[in-house]
Structure 1
Amino acid sequence: MLDGKTVEVFARHRRGDPEAPLSDDDIDDKFEELAAPVMGLQGASTLLAKLWFMEELQTSDVRLADLLPPGLKRNLYHRQ
């Protein structure tokens, strides 16, 4: 606080714990915040949309390499 006082609040459960779950919107925001710097906002949004329907997708519907920006694409099966 501006006057130098501190305030403490006890939270029995942290947000995201089973007792205080995140909302779907919170999950979307967190995913995009963490994934967008790596794969770009468009790639993160595309992957997120597919992940929400994962049970209905075929394995070939989610190719992570196709969502990465060109500079990050690499052959994941042959490491040097």
Structure 2
Amino acid sequence: MKTTEEKVIEIVRSVKEIKYPITTDMSLTDDLFLDSLDMLMVINAIESEFSYEVDMGEVGKIKTVQDIIEILEAEIHK
């Protein structure tokens, strides 16, 4: 079974077809070059994969892969 981290990285990788290694501290915009449309695609895929509706207030706080993981893990451990 894949971890939350592995699933999130897989989702981010699939949106931009990224071939190089992705680490959790990478910036979604500066390192992975995701634009606003890419971010919507990532959020949509996360909502589908985790059956979780991301609060739009949280979206503005998401800067790194780790930020996504922390939001999901906080929800999982509620």
Task: Mark yes or no: TM-score above 0.5.
Answer: no
TM-score range, shorter chain: 0.3 to 0.5
Higher helix share: 2
Indicate the structure (1 or 2) with the bigger Cα radius of gyration. Answer: 1
User: TM-score with structure 2 length normalisation?
Assistant: 0.33
Greater length-normalized contact order (CA 8 Å, ≥ 6 residues apart): 2
